[in-house]
Amino acid sequence: MFETVSENRCFDGVQGVYSHDSDVCGCNMTFGLFLPEEAAEGPVPLLWYLSGLTCTHENAMTKSGAQAWAAEHGIALAFPDTSPRGEGVADDDAYDLGQGAGFYVNAVQEPWAPHYRMWDYVATELPRLLFNNFALDEERQAITGHSMGGHGALTLAMNHPGRYASVSAFAPIAHPSMSDWGRKQLTAYLGTDTDAWARHDATLLMREGGFAGPVLIDQGASDQFLDLLKPEALAAAIAEVRQPGTFRMHEGYDHSYFFVSSFMEDHVSFHADALYR
């Protein structure tokens, strides 16, 4: 089960924060869930939002402005954490490894393997908890994310055909097997066998066949991490396989939540079109 940390009235719906003991991660986990007012009458569609490096469930929940647009369309929003946390959970002094940097994979290397199973957490355990306890329509899901979370959204969507009606990303880590934001973490969590990395690389997955639905990617042209993100590789892969979708480069925008919030309305509307189609 889960415990209620807080619930606040928000755009005529409820923004909740909840915690639970995760069997997958072996620790207590916290997540945010926004339910629009329509959820009082019955199950509503669900849009997953996966956050980036250093973030918790709280960053997008408080900074993205997503609830306003989700309420307009009658869509719920799930905000998972980015990693396991707590005493006894392995960590690293670097901001881009360990707690806050789970990278949405199932670690098999020590000391990460006992807790760092964010793939199974986001793909299996947390959905089961949400659909069993809240008014959510399991048949209507979509997924988005920012940076490391954009990487997670794209890879989860392409690895689970038929689950998500649509996928989008803000400044995703687009080609981690060829980037310092990727090779470091994939080696630490998964080991040196690069074949094991392929299912966690959006560019490679796109080249192999893409996503059976609409895709939207937004990237800031003044993003300070542009060389690490490698959006050009993903854009080329989208073109190669003629993936239905849109890739947009925005002049002057950086990697921050000012960028994310500027285009959040577009993303929620994009997913609403797919969820209600």
The C-alpha atoms of residue 142 and residue 84 are separated, in whole angstroms, by 23
Per-residue pLDDT at 1 exceeds 90: no
Residues 71, 47: contact at Cβ < 8 Å? Answer: no
Examine the pLDDT at 240 and tell me if it is beyond 90. yes
Q: Give catalytic residue positions.
A: 147, 223, 255
H helix runs in 20-73, sequence order: 58-63, 66-73
Give the domain extent around 79: 2-276
Q: How many structural domains does the chain have? A: 1
pLDDT for 28: 98
Q: Per residue in 95-145, pLDDT tens?
A: 999 999 999 999 999 999 999 999 999 999 999 999 999 999 999 999 999
Angle between helices 66-73 and 257-275 (to 10 degrees): 10
CATH number for the domain harbouring residue 84: 3.40.50.1820
Is residue 27 over pLDDT 90? yes
Mean local confidence (pLDDT), 151-169: 98
Q: What is the pLDDT of residue 198?
A: 97
Pairing relation of β-strands 44-50 and 2-10? unpaired
Q: What is the pLDDT of residue 74?
A: 98
Helix ranges (H only) for 21-122 are 58-63, 66-73, 118-120
CA atoms of 122 and 104, how far apart (whole Å): 8
Distance CA 26, CA 85 (A): 9
**240, two tokens:** 């190669």
